[in-house]
Amino acid sequence: MRKSYKEWAIEESDSLRQDIVNLSRAIHGKPELGMREYYASQLLGDFLEQQRFEVIRGFCGIPTAFFARFKSGEGPVIALLSEYDALPELGHACGHNLIGSASVGAAVAVSRVLSQLKGTVVVMGTPAEETNGAKVLMVEAGAFTGIDAAMMFHPGDSNAVEISSLAMEALEFTFWGKAVHAAACPQLGINALEALILFFNGVNSLRQHLRDDVFIHGIIVDGGNSPNVIPERASAQFYIRARQQNQLEMARERIKTCAEGAAAMIGARVEWRNFEFSYQSMISNPTLAGLFRENLKLLGVRDLAGPREAMGSIDMGNVSQVVPSIHPYLALNGKFVPHSREFANVAGSEIGEAVMMTAAKAMACTAIDLYLQPELAVKARAELQRRVGKGL
């Protein structure tokens, strides 16, 4: 019997197993922080070049980002995203060594099958997921224009194909007053710190009017220099998060109004800026998620959880707002949670490698589904447009 394209892709993944495992172990053994992943990006880029991919390094002006492409005629363009940054002290406690290597392995397996199909497979090396996520810059730079679907996998504590994440905005508010001697002539000063304290109180009063899926957390980063001087400058940094983009925007505008009101009460002036990138909420594409779930079943994965609401924020959210995307989690071994030492150990073990291989095969099979039925990519795009049109 003639084997199917998916069987072929799975066989190719198995034949690449040692290479994929070697990449993952090498990256695990040499953890690098965000934007400094020189070794990992070089290693993955070199491997893709050896496998006849066209590789652009320093993609979007980011030294450790890359773009690799294998094209076979006109057809869907599928991007597999590769993360490879680690955490301070803990190393690969989020298992990004497995993510980066799985996407590269899946893409190479797909490229071999593409000799008989029409389409393009892309690997995008996306640095610094743990800090100032490069995917945000890459989306803004137009890196995802012309991409029909984007996917990656993330190791986690359960098998959850469809996830959501919180949209997040990082705002810094700075209040400006007038410095004078605190005891000698306070009547001539304007206390920026008092304005900032009123602002915190205003935000706390506002909470009762916000939905319970809006989260606001702030810290004071500058509250003056000496009790002897009326502070002329005071500033605070806030993370504002919400499940839906429109809720985040509404909360942000009301918080800005609080800042303006607090400044006016004291006669101070306030300004604000984004001190880190804003992350948008994750939209898991139903069509892509359905294909991925079926492919996991085909590979023998049984314990699949339903849609999961994540409490964090991920830079894949920004990608998911412009390209149909999925960010499925696969359980490393149910017991350990990301960002723990135990998780780092499992990410470098055979348990992690087995999950990575399952992920690579499921991504390869999902790409093959889209090459065989390009109308599904069109359907996925329409789903995204409907969702974004509603501002959710």
Give the pair of three-digit tokens for residue 266: 């004291």
Give the residue with the Cβ less far from Zn ion, 168 or 266: 168
Q: How big is the chain by its Cα radius of gyration, in Å? A: 24
Helices (H), 83-160: 96-113, 134-140
Element (H, E) at 121: strand 119-125
What are 215's strand-pairing partners? 241
Give the residue with the Cβ less far from Zn ion, 72 or 131: 131
Q: How far is the CB of 146 from Zn ion (least distance, A)?
A: 26
Q: How far is the CB of 225 from Zn ion (least distance, A)?
A: 38
Give the pair of three-digit tokens for residue 167: 């949209």
Are 64 and 35 contacting, i.e. CB atoms less than 8 angstroms apart? yes
Q: How far is the CB of 282 from Zn ion (least distance, A)?
A: 13
Q: How many CA atoms lie within 13 A of 229 on its CB side?
A: 11
Interface ranges with Zn ion (CB under 5 A): 94
Q: How far is the CB of 257 from Zn ion (least distance, A)?
A: 35
Give the pair of three-digit tokens for residue 284: 């898991």
Give the residue with the Cβ less far from Zn ion, 353 or 369: 353
Give the residue with the Cβ less far from Zn ion, 221 or 337: 337
**Phi and psi at residue 59, to the nearest 5°:** -60, 140
Q: How far is the CB of 126 from Zn ion (least distance, A)?
A: 11
Give the residue with the Cβ less far from Zn ion, 16 or 94: 94
Are 390 and 138 contacting, i.e. CB atoms less than 8 angstroms apart? no
Q: Which residue is nearest to Zn ion (CB)?
A: 94
Give the pair of three-digit tokens for residue 77: 């363009």
Give the residue with the Cβ less far from Zn ion, 94 or 121: 94
Cα(276)–Cα(266) distance, integer angstroms: 28
Q: How far is the CB of 120 from Zn ion (least distance, A)?
A: 27
Give the residue with the Cβ less far from Zn ion, 94 or 102: 94
- Angle in degrees, CA 197, 202, 204, rounded to 5: 100
CA 159 to chain centre: 18
Cα(306)–Cα(287) distance, integer angstroms: 15
Q: How far is the CB of 95 from Zn ion (least distance, A)?
A: 7
